[in-house]
Chains A and B, each alone.
Chain A
């Protein structure tokens, strides 16, 4: 009897399961124009907080509604949830019509096939690919494929420094090379104050920094065929150089090894550290009560010479892309909305508010971005920034290598030696965790 009942229970379970699997996940269908009057838009958190983002975006969306009659339903998705939400949308086919993505995710998300590819025809509808900065478009999908998104906001790294602390330590100009950084740093790091801030437990931040350094050493984290190549001499040298700023050179405070929530900006604003490598930090400094004349900005350091392409790269191309979800029921409206968001006018307004750099060339040249840090960020972006590897396994790479660097920082902070061997071992472990 008991066996029969158990069998019956199993039968019910399996039949339900088959029913659930039968109707599958996201249907492979492409977009339609079934509901042309509304759009759902997932924005990323760019402003001080989510409410601030809503206040900034809502008037613009109203403008769009006035122009086209399409009502945009806005949801600002916190960064902590964004990837999970995109995953949910991808597997189920139930998602927004238009969404923002971090540009480093482009290739990963492109591989799922959930985003509409931007071929020539699609780009034509929003004014052509040429309107956008080349580096920004290059960060919107794997090489040789149609981009999975369109660049919306662009950012790059710059070196922010505290003018007063420089003055007190007798430093005249911000360091332009890493050697100068160490030398300057030693002058600044004393009496409980430190030269440079770092977010040692923030995986993305670690990746961004070691990527630029790896470029300067002539390295790359993926070979030409897209296979991981973490343990090359250049990569080992890059990671070691970054971690040595804390361990060997002692110009980063050991406490920074556990920072992951932008505590280094707070330290900077409080005059505890003299420099940070950051992307568009002006508005945050203001929020922390720093006056604009308190801080200066310079290009991020290189090994020698001046920033440029190749070995003189001093920043990754950072930014936000806007993508159209393939299952949209309003394809034309979605395209129209992307066109609106990337129009000269909106690029000026939104990037101006957020402190980022327009990804549309015409808007970049606008006088509104000639602020001290705007100029540096724009110069870096156009002349000496390179996109992170656009490979499908980018998120695995960030996790594996970012965690390795985090671990090395923990070693350095605890006074354990960080050697070429230990760096190589950490990177090799990271590489073995990558999917085959």
Chain B
């Protein structure tokens, strides 16, 4: 689908100029993109090729090509650790955290972007300051709070997916709010005004007009939220147990007491990343389709 986007001449994204760019620009672009592609692609290639190597190959001196191709690692990964369970856990936790975080952020950003109210500065500054909290400072306290909430109310936050979702959604929330304020600010006010004239309430205007116009921003923020939750190691190592363990912890299972199964690590990483990459591909179309540009006209 991406090639389709690239090939379509009438893509709505704004272009710099209708005239052909000069040679200097083209050459700079060519060189830069070649170097960057190599930098990005080599580790990806190493992952793919290593995942197809027998264990002796990855344990010994580096070789560009496998001595023999084998798909054994792809079979073994499922029995070395319960990879499927970890994958499902990660998917649930990251998706739920993303959805909650984005919705909460849209509300908050809408309030800040469109209203004047007392405490606005306090709110934005406080939210901003939480982004700089070193995780290590509040890991232990947060964990104690979850346990106490569990003891007092019976809501299991510690060790459950719910607790992890709640934690992760707040990790991405501050940034999501700031970014969305910026994106919402760039959506022209005439749009909400028009919607209000049409009889929409403030929330109606938000969901019918502003949100659709800010889709690229929302997607960028959603992707960020998802990846924050998807990759987190520190909190997951304390707050999960066997049934709720996420991938970032689960993948460590391939490095055991006696051995590191490099080929299986790579195979497992690829398997669990593939759906995410495909998801990105899908979202990317919305991200670059320039819906805002369309809405302005």
Direct contact of A and B (CB under 8 A): yes
Partner-B contacts on A (CB < 8 A): 1-2, 5-6, 9, 20, 23, 25, 45-46, 48-51, 75-81, 84-85, 87-88, 91-94, 261-263, 265-266, 270, 281, 283-284, 287-289
Known contacts A88-B238, A92-B143, A78 near B148 by CB under 8 Å? no
B290 interfacial by beta-carbon distance below 8 Å: no
**CB within 8 A of B237: which of A23, A76, A81?**
A81
B33 interfacial by beta-carbon distance below 8 Å: no
Residue of B whose beta carbon sits closest to that of A55: B79
CB–CB B258/A262 < 8 A: yes
**CB within 8 A of B122: which of A2, A85, A281?**
A2
Most-contacted residue by chain B among A266, A270, A287 (CB, 10 A): A266
CB–CB A91/B257 < 8 A: no
What A residues does B82 contact at CB under 8 A? 50-51
B203 interfacial by beta-carbon distance below 8 Å: no
Residue of B whose beta carbon sits closest to that of A13: B126
Residue of B whose beta carbon sits closest to that of A80: B252
Residue of B whose beta carbon sits closest to that of A75: B242
- Closest Cβ–Cβ distance, residue A42 to chain B (whole Å): 9
CB–CB A270/B158 < 8 A: no
- Closest Cβ–Cβ distance, residue B142 to chain A (whole Å): 10
Rounded to whole angstroms, the CA-CA distance of A75 and B253 in the bound complex is: 14
What B residues does A284 contact at CB under 8 A? 258-259
Rounded to whole angstroms, the CA-CA distance of A434 and B22 in the bound complex is: 64
Rounded to whole angstroms, the CA-CA distance of A262 and B255 in the bound complex is: 9
Rounded to whole angstroms, the CA-CA distance of A281 and B241 in the bound complex is: 29
Interface residues of B in 210-268 (CB under 8 A from A): 237-239, 241-242, 249, 252-260
CB–CB B122/A5 < 8 A: yes
**CB within 8 A of B80: which of A2, A51, A94?**
A51
CB–CB B60/A270 < 8 A: yes
**Top 10 nearest A-B pairs by Cβ distance?**
A284-B258, A92-B147, A75-B242, A266-B59, A49-B80, A261-B260, A84-B238, A81-B237, A23-B148, A5-B119
- Closest Cβ–Cβ distance, residue A14 to chain B (whole Å): 14
Rounded to whole angstroms, the CA-CA distance of A91 and B151 in the bound complex is: 14
Partner-A contacts on B (CB < 8 A): 55-56, 59-60, 79-82, 118-119, 121-122, 126, 140-141, 143-145, 147-148, 150-152, 158, 237-239, 241-242, 249, 252-260
CB–CB B256/A48 < 8 A: yes
Rounded to whole angstroms, the CA-CA distance of A314 and B103 in the bound complex is: 62
Known: A77-B242, A84-B238. 19 other contacts (CB 8 A): A2-B118, A2-B122, A5-B119, A20-B144, A23-B152, A46-B257, A50-B80, A75-B242, A76-B242, A81-B238, A263-B260, A265-B259, A266-B59, A270-B59, A284-B258, A284-B259, A287-B258, A287-B259, A289-B56
Known contacts A92-B147, A94-B147, A94-B158, A80 near B59 by CB under 8 Å? no
**CB within 8 A of B144: which of A92, A261, A281?**
A92
CB–CB B118/A84 < 8 A: no
CB–CB B255/A50 < 8 A: no
Rounded to whole angstroms, the CA-CA distance of A138 and B213 in the bound complex is: 70
What A residues does B144 contact at CB under 8 A? 20, 25, 91-92
- Closest Cβ–Cβ distance, residue A174 to chain B (whole Å): 22
Residue of B whose beta carbon sits closest to that of A79: B257
Rounded to whole angstroms, the CA-CA distance of A85 and B143 in the bound complex is: 11
Known contacts A5-B119, A80-B252, A91-B144, A50 near B81 by CB under 8 Å? yes
**CB within 8 A of B260: which of A5, A45, A262?**
A262
Rounded to whole angstroms, the CA-CA distance of A49 and B253 in the bound complex is: 7
22 contacts between A and B (CB under 8 A): A2-B118, A20-B145, A23-B151, A23-B152, A46-B257, A49-B256, A75-B241, A78-B249, A80-B237, A81-B237, A81-B238, A84-B237, A88-B238, A92-B144, A92-B158, A93-B147, A262-B259, A263-B59, A265-B258, A266-B60, A284-B258, A288-B55
What B residues does A281 contact at CB under 8 A? 258
